[in-house]
């Protein structure tokens, strides 16, 4: 299926064109992105696969408004993102983007419910914290603090926190990186369910090739460039993954 | 030589944390600086006093008498225990200074040469040889711009005489030169001068006789028995009771001052060093705790616990060492300034200033120990973990709902507010320590400022409510009461109140105190006696009123009887009942109703002096008239006394008030800035996560600085309370029979202390806010910890 065929079926959420990113580390320039063109469509589940240092996190950070590219443009929902305007990017993250990180980044002083409320209190049209937590299967752990939960549970709270504001996109950077396989599968299952039920465009970064099987599309990264894009004819359920 | 990698790391880490390190070093510097300043100044003044007394043979026993033949000298000399004897002529004189209209009085003392007791330290010229020559005290000469060879008139024993200035000098006997009855020097209006013995004797009709005595004792002499024997010998000659160096006026003032300085010298450094050490311990502990991952890494490379500990001790030593070095330099400099001020004030001929190595070592040891202890604890906790464990992200700390939230306050709190509340609760000890640090900084600002408030208050009470005369005059000797009408009739005099002053030794059991009983007119409007609530005390018809502090010294209460040994005339011994107490902040004395005192003395209506209130602008004329009244020995002007008082306070007390204030401001800033910086480091990751979730900079600044703000706001009232308590403690330790310092803190002072802390907090907040704005979101999220 070509891009134009995708166009017919779904709206384009992100259009990245000619993205470059150069880090200056003292005297040395590191080219993290060397001209990346990529489109992401509404409601799809995309896996970015590639070795560490291949540029996938950099792309994710730029799409999420956490970082600015050295060159190129990103259009979101048809409008160009002004990536170097901190106030606008804060607003953009607050309204449109959900993040999930490898190390959960929960606020230890807040309970599961409150960690989610942290976001719903500043969002425009959020679901209730209880609903968000129910979606990730944690309705019975509402009043637990992070210290009282396992890593998998903490990551599910992080997912609930990310989706509670009903974001257009959910950006996940190695969401299973700190988890064992069995727990990782449960977390991925939650991500798939959210994607299916809420229609949130979901991007998952991983270097675990097994996970690619559950995606609509897989974007292969290497040396700061998109090497190829594959579409899975048939998606596997997360529960069928093993590593 | 190339630096080892780990030492490179040390240097770079230090450079990285330079502003924090500087703030810590400043706190240490203030602690050490205060310590060194007070200790060195105190040592310098004490050793100067000792050496001065020794080199100039300051006498050990003193006595005044009416008149005794010189032949008595041999009998005094033969008393057991007596070493050197110096018989002298001492007289009150009035001076007529060129270009100075106001009355000036002086104490004339016969000179006893280079080798006698109480030898003079000549600053200019030479000792008097001719009968018309005089040596005057250096500060008096300075105040009047007198030059050697210059002339002025003196009225001695009712006779006018022209004197030539032979030189100026300082004496160990008159380090403090104050008019009797005054507690502050006024070199323009009162001085000490020395004349050749024979010349002064002739002028005072004391040929072959003496009226004053000074002596030194052999080692091991029984002082009490010498004094008793001298009193016996002088009894027939109008002796006023011998006393030791301890009760000698100048020495007593000096000792009191040095004791006060000593109290401050032990109190302030302990306070400042204690607070600095506490802060150092807390701040260093938290700073090292932040290095947990690095410690694990070093251990993973194969560094041992001791090497790691040593690494951090070195880092801490550099910071602390900087503070100590700066503090010693600053302390020595300030110590010199302070001793210099005192040297000038006390008219020491020289200053024995040395920096004792012990002081330096103490200051360094206290600082390094405090810093070291904080480091060891923190490194120990971090190093106890296995490296792999320490490098893994730290488990989320366990939190609980706060008690307040359980009570139902929770629904009113936003999530950020809950974060603030729970963080304070979770790190209760850390929060408490930060709060305590801020409170201490707030408190010491008060201790610095309260003396200024107090001085203002003392002036108001003493000169505004109790001593309200424009001028006071004292007579050369007890005088018949009709003199009052002479004074009343002077043009420009509005109102006259008279008094009788009798020198006495008060005894109660084994306790005794040498002072005066003042007979005052009942219901006086110029001189008023006040009680503890500063209400005017009704003068009882009979009985004795005592300054409340004197009652404490003598351990008497109202209704008790005291023995009154009168030190003039035939020196009768009587008994009086204490019928009330009065509140005074300077000096201690007894008071009686004027007529009652005359009856007590078995004398007719007799006066020692008078208080005058005068019409505005009439003072010069009155002075001119008074100069012509030979009975008047001295005149004091109230405004002048106030100026003298303020000058003395400004020169001595307020110097370190200023220092203490500046230091406490630095400490306040050091504490708050470091608390904020450490909080930022500890929670940078959490705050970055919030930024990623779409929180604005202002919103996350609220979470971090809100906590600091709450701690600061909680710390301020506590700090004010703590400071008040410290002020009471200082005032209590400093009270003596010359001065009682009331604790007076004006609302302005509280407000100032609170404002300093708030402004420090705001500046620290802004500095940290800048760093919050620069948080690297990606780096913080990528790193495990």
Chain B residue numbers touching A117 (CB-CB < 8 A): 415
Q: Which of A92, A93, A147 has its CB closest to that of B693?
A: A93
Chain A residue numbers touching B700 (CB-CB < 8 A): none
Chain B residue numbers touching A66 (CB-CB < 8 A): 692, 777-778
Please tell me whether residues B601 and B714 are part of one structural domain: no
Q: Is A118 on the interface with B (CB under 8 A)?
A: yes
pLDDT at A140: 93
Q: Is the pLDDT of residue B393 over 60?
A: no
Structure tokens at B355: 């920096």
Q: Tell me, yes or no, whether B753 lies in a domain.
A: yes
How far is B193 from B232, CA to CA, in rounded Å?
30
Interface residues of B toward A, Cβ cutoff 8 Å, are 393, 395-400, 414-416, 418-419, 422-423, 426, 685-686, 689-697, 699, 777-778, 781-782, 784
Residue A190 C-alpha, separation from nearest chain B C-alpha, in angstroms:
20
Residue A147 C-alpha, separation from nearest chain B C-alpha, in angstroms:
5
Decide if B415 and A146 are in contact by the 8 Å CB cutoff: no
Interhelix angle B305-346/B5-16, nearest 10 degrees: 50
Q: Tell me, yes or no, whether B134 lies in a domain.
A: yes
Decide if A110 and B415 are in contact by the 8 Å CB cutoff: yes
Q: Which of A93, A114, A148 has its CB closest to that of B415?
A: A114
Q: What is the mean pLDDT of chain A?
A: 88
Q: Tell me, yes or no, whether B649 lies in a domain.
A: yes
Q: Is A82 on the interface with B (CB under 8 A)?
A: no
pLDDT-based confidence at B3, cuts 50/70/90? low
H or E element in which residue A108 lies = none
Looking at chain B, the whole-number percentage of residues with pLDDT higher than 90 is 27
Position with higher pLDDT, B538 vs B784: B538
Q: Which of B396, B426, B694 has its CB closest to that of A90?
A: B694
Q: Which of A99, A108, A121 has its CB closest to that of B415?
A: A121
Q: Which of B393, B396, B693 has its CB closest to that of A147?
A: B396
Decide if A118 and B416 are in contact by the 8 Å CB cutoff: yes
Please tell me whether residues B321 and B382 are part of one structural domain: yes
Asked if CATH classification 3.90.228.20 holds for the domain at A42-67+91-235, the reply, yes or no, is: no
Please tell me whether residues B96 and B235 are part of one structural domain: yes
Q: Is A161 on the interface with B (CB under 8 A)?
A: yes
Q: Is the pLDDT of residue A28 over 50?
A: yes
Residue B15 C-alpha, separation from nearest chain A C-alpha, in angstroms:
18
Please tell me whether residues B4 and B111 are part of one structural domain: no
Smallest CA-to-CA distance from A224 within A33, A21, A36, A73 is with A33
Give bridge partners of residue B427 from the DSSP assignment: none
Chain B residue numbers touching A129 (CB-CB < 8 A): none
pLDDT-based confidence at B738, cuts 50/70/90? confident
Decide if A117 and B415 are in contact by the 8 Å CB cutoff: yes
Decide if B415 and A147 are in contact by the 8 Å CB cutoff: no
Q: For chain B, how many structural domains are there in total? A: 4
Scanning the structure block, which residue is given the tokens 């404002």? B755
Smallest CA-to-CA distance from A164 within A209, A132, A198 is with A132
Please tell me whether residues B268 and B232 are part of one structural domain: no
Find how far residue B157's CA is from the centre of its chain. Answer: 40
Contacts of B434 (CB under 8 A, 6+ apart): B282, B671, B675, B711, B715
Please tell me whether residues B6 and B29 are part of one structural domain: yes
How far is B699 from B678, CA to CA, in rounded Å?
19
Scanning the structure block, which residue is given the tokens 């002499």? B221
Residue B293 C-alpha, separation from nearest chain A C-alpha, in angstroms:
16
Q: Is A119 on the interface with B (CB under 8 A)?
A: yes
The ipTM estimated for the assembled molecules is 0.72
From A115, which residue of chain B is nearest by alpha-carbon distance?
B415
Position with higher pLDDT, B447 vs A228: A228
- Which 3-state string (H, E, C) describes B132-164? CEEEEEHHHHHHHCCCCCCEEEEEECCEEEEEE
Decide if B696 and A67 are in contact by the 8 Å CB cutoff: no
- C-beta of residue A125 within 8 angstroms of C-beta of residue A96: no
Q: List the beta strands (DSSP E) in A28-84.
A: 28-41, 45-49, 71-76, 79-80
The one-character DSSP state at B615 is: -
C-alpha dihedral over B259, B264, B269, B274, to 10 degrees? 120
Instruction: State the number of CA atoms in the 13 A half-sphere of B452 facing the CB.
Output: 19
How far is B779 from B123, CA to CA, in rounded Å?
74
Smallest CA-to-CA distance from B17 within B318, B330, B272 is with B318
Decide if B396 and A93 are in contact by the 8 Å CB cutoff: no
Smallest CA-to-CA distance from B85 within B201, B238, B240, B221 is with B221
Reported as a single tens digit per residue, the pLDDT across B15-74 is: 877 888 888 888 888 888 888 888 888 888 889 999 999 999 999 999 999 899 999 999
Q: Is the pLDDT of residue B784 over 50?
A: no
Reported as a single tens digit per residue, the pLDDT across A92-150 is: 888 899 989 888 878 777 889 988 888 888 888 899 999 999 989 999 999 998 889 99
Q: Is the pLDDT of residue B197 over 80?
A: yes
Least confident window among A185-189, A213-217, B338-342, B737-741: B737-741
Chain B residue numbers touching A64 (CB-CB < 8 A): 692
pLDDT at B568: 78
Please tell me whether residues B101 and B232 are part of one structural domain: yes
What average pLDDT does this structure show over B619-628?
81
Q: Is A237 on the interface with B (CB under 8 A)?
A: no
pLDDT at B394: 55
**Within chain A, where are the H helices?**
3-9, 56-63, 86-96, 112-120, 129-135, 151-163, 181-198
How far is B362 from B514, CA to CA, in rounded Å?
41
Chain B residue numbers touching A97 (CB-CB < 8 A): 694
Is B204 exposed, middle or buried, given 0-12, 13-18 or 19+ CB atoms closer than 10 A? buried
Which of B424, B430, B693 is most worth mutating to test chain A (most A CB atoms within 10 A of its CB)? B693
Decide if B696 and A66 are in contact by the 8 Å CB cutoff: no
C-alpha dihedral over B1, B2, B3, B4, to 10 degrees? -110
Which conformational region is residue B543 in: left (phi greater than 0), alpha (psi within -120 to 50 degrees), or beta?
left
**What sign does the CA torsion over A77, A78, A82, A88 have?**
negative
Q: Tell me, yes or no, whether B290 lies in a domain.
A: yes
- C-beta of residue B416 within 8 angstroms of C-beta of residue B706: yes
Contacts of B302 (CB under 8 A, 6+ apart): none
C-alpha dihedral over B321, B322, B327, B332, to 10 degrees? 90
Scanning the structure block, which residue is given the tokens 């009760």? B247
- C-beta of residue A86 within 8 angstroms of C-beta of residue A93: no
From A58, which residue of chain B is nearest by alpha-carbon distance?
B778
Please tell me whether residues B235 and B270 are part of one structural domain: no
- C-beta of residue B214 within 8 angstroms of C-beta of residue B226: no
From A87, which residue of chain B is nearest by alpha-carbon distance?
B696
Chain A residue numbers touching B685 (CB-CB < 8 A): 105
From A149, which residue of chain B is nearest by alpha-carbon distance?
B396
Out of A42-46, B351-355, B513-517, B768-772, give the one with best mean pLDDT: A42-46
CA triplet B107, B112, B116: central angle to 5 degrees?
130
C-alpha dihedral over B17, B20, B26, B27, to 10 degrees? -130
Chain A residue numbers touching B416 (CB-CB < 8 A): 118
- C-beta of residue B437 within 8 angstroms of C-beta of residue B595: no
Q: Is the pLDDT of residue A8 over 60?
A: no
Chain A residue numbers touching B784 (CB-CB < 8 A): 103
Reported as a single tens digit per residue, the pLDDT across B493-504 is: 999 999 999 989
Position with higher pLDDT, A195 vs B369: A195
Decide if A107 and B419 are in contact by the 8 Å CB cutoff: yes
Residue B721 C-alpha, separation from nearest chain A C-alpha, in angstroms:
32
Q: Tell me, yes or no, whether B552 lies in a domain.
A: yes
pLDDT at A1: 42
Domain span holding position B444: 416-466+641-785
Structure tokens at B385: 């973990």
Decide if A101 and B685 are in contact by the 8 Å CB cutoff: no
Smallest CA-to-CA distance from B784 within A182, A205, A105 is with A105
Position with higher pLDDT, B677 vs B747: B747
Chain A residue numbers touching B423 (CB-CB < 8 A): 109
Structure tokens at B323: 């503070």
pLDDT-based confidence at B783, cuts 50/70/90? low
Q: Which of A61, A87, A119 has its CB closest to that of B693?
A: A119
Which conformational region is residue A225 in: left (phi greater than 0), alpha (psi within -120 to 50 degrees), or beta?
beta
Please tell me whether residues B87 and B45 are part of one structural domain: no
Decide if A145 and B400 are in contact by the 8 Å CB cutoff: yes
Q: Which of B422, B692, B695 has its CB closest to that of A99?
A: B692
DSSP string, B430-471: HHHHHHHHHHHHHHHHHHHHHHHHHHHHHHIIIIIIIB--SE
């Amino acid at each position: 299926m070509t891009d134009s065929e995708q166009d017919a079926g779904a709206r384009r959420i992100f259009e990245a064109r000619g993205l470059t990113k150069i880090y200056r580390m003292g005297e040395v320039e590191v080219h993290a992105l060397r001209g990346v063109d990529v489109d992401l469509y509404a409601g799809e589940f995309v896996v970015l696969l590639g070795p560490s240092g291949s540029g996938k996190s950099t792309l994710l950070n730029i799409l999420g408004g956490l970082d600015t590219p050295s060159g190129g443009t990103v259009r979101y929902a048809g409008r160009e993102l002004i990536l170097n305007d901190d106030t606008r990017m804060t607003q953009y993250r607050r309204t449109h983007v959900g993040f999930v990180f490898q190390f959960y980044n929960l606020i230890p002083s807040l309970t599961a419910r409150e960690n989610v409320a942290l976001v719903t209190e500043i969002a425009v049209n959020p679901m209730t914290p209880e609903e968000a937590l129910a979606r990730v299967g944690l309705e019975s752990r509402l009043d637990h603090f992070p210290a009282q939960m396992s890593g998998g549970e903490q990551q599910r709270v992080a997912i609930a926190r990310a989706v509670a504001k009903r974001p257009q996109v959910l950006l996940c950077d190695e969401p299973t990186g700190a988890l064992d396989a069995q727990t990782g599968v449960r977390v991925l299952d939650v991500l798939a369910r959210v994607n299916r039920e809420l229609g949130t465009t979901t991007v998952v970064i991983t270097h675990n090739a097994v996970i690619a099987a559950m995606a609509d599309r897989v974007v292969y990264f290497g040396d700061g460039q998109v090497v190829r894009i594959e579409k899975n004819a048939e998606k596997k359920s997360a529960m069928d993954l093993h590593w | 030589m190339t630096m080892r990698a780990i030492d490179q790391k040390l240097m770079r880490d230090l450079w990285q944390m330079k502003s924090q390190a500087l703030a810590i070093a400043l706190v240490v510097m203030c602690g050490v600086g205060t310590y060194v300043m007070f200790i060195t100044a105190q040592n310098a003044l004490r050793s100067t006093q000792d050496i001065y007394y020794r080199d100039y043979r300051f006498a050990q026993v003193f006595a005044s008498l009416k008149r005794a033949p010189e032949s008595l000298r041999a009998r005094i000399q033969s008393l057991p225990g007596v070493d050197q004897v110096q018989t002298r002529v001492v007289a009150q004189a009035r001076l007529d200074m060129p270009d100075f209209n106001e009355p000036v009085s002086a104490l004339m003392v016969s000179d006893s040469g280079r080798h006698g007791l109480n030898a003079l330290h000549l600053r200019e010229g030479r000792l008097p040889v001719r009968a018309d020559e005089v040596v005057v005290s250096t500060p008096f000469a300075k105040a009047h711009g007198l030059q050697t060879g210059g002339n002025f008139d003196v009225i001695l024993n009712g006779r006018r005489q022209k004197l030539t200035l032979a030189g100026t000098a300082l004496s160990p006997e008159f380090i403090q030169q104050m008019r009797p009855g005054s507690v502050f020097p006024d070199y323009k209006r009162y001085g000490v001068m020395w004349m050749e013995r024979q010349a002064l004797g002739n002028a005072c009709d004391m040929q072959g006789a003496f009226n004053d005595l000074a002596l030194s004792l052999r080692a091991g002499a029984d002082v009490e028995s010498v004094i008793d024997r001298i009193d016996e010998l002088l009894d027939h000659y109008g002796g006023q009771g011998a006393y030791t160096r301890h009760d000698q006026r100048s020495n007593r003032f000096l000792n009191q001052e040095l004791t006060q300085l000593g109290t401050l010298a032990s109190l302030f450094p302990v306070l400042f060093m204690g607070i600095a050490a506490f802060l150092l311990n807390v701040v260093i502990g938290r700073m090292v705790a932040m290095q947990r991952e690095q410690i694990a890494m070093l251990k993973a490379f194969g560094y041992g616990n001791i090497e790691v500990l040593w690494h951090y001790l070195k880092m801490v030593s550099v910071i602390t060492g900087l503070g100590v070095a700066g503090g010693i330099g600053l302390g020595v400099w300030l110590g010199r300034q302070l001793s210099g001020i005192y040297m000038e004030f006390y008219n020491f001929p020289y200053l024995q200033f040395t920096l004792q190595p012990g002081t330096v070592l103490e200051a360094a040891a206290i600082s390094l120990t405090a810093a070291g202890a904080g480091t060891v604890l923190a490194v120990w906790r971090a190093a106890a973990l296995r490296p792999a464990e320490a490098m893994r992200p730290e488990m989320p700390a366990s939190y609980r709902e706060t008690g307040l939230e359980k009570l139902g306050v929770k629904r009113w709190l936003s999530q950020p507010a809950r974060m603030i509340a729970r963080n304070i609760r979770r790190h209760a000890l850390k929060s408490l320590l930060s709060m305590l640090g801020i409170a201490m900084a707030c408190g010491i600002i008060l201790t610095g400022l309260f003396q200024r408030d107090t001085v203002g208050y003392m002036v108001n009470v003493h000169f505004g409510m109790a001593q309200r005369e424009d001028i006071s005059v004292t007579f050369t000797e007890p005088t018949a009461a009709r003199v009052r009408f002479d004074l009343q009739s002077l043009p420009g005099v509005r109102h006259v109140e008279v008094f009788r002053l009798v020198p006495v030794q008060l005894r109660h059991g084994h306790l005794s105190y040498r002072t005066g009983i003042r007979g005052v007119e009942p219901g006086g409007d110029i001189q008023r006696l006040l009680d503890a609530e500063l209400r005017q005390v009704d003068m009882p018809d009979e009985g004795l009123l005592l300054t409340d502090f004197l009652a404490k010294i003598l351990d008497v209460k109202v209704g008790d009887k005291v023995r009154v040994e009168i030190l003039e005339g035939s020196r009768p011994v009587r008994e009086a009942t204490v019928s009330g107490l009065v509140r005074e902040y300077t000096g201690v004395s007894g008071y009686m109703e004027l007529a009652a005192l005359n009856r007590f003395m078995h004398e007719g209506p007799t006066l020692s002096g008078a208080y005058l209130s005068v019409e505005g602008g009439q003072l010069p004329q009155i002075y001119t008239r008074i100069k012509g009244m030979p009975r008047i020995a001295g005149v004091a002007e109230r405004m002048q006394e106030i100026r003298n008082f303020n000058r003395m306070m400004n020169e001595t007390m307020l110097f370190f008030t200023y220092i203490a204030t500046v230091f406490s401001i630095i400490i306040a800033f050091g504490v708050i800035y470091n608390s904020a910086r450490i909080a930022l480091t500890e929670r940078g990751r959490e705050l970055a996560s919030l930024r990623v979730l779409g929180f604005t900079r202002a919103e996350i600044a609220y979470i971090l600085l809100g906590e600091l703000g709450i701690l600061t706001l909680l710390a301020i009232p506590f700090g004010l309370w703590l400071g008040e308590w410290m002020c009471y403690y200082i005032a209590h330790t400093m009270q003596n029979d010359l001065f009682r310092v009331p604790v007076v803190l004006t609302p302005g002072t509280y407000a100032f202390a609170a404002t300093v802390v708030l402004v420090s907090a705001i500046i620290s907040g802004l500095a940290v806010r800048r760093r919050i704005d620069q948080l690297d979101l990606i780096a913080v999220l990528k790193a495990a910890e």
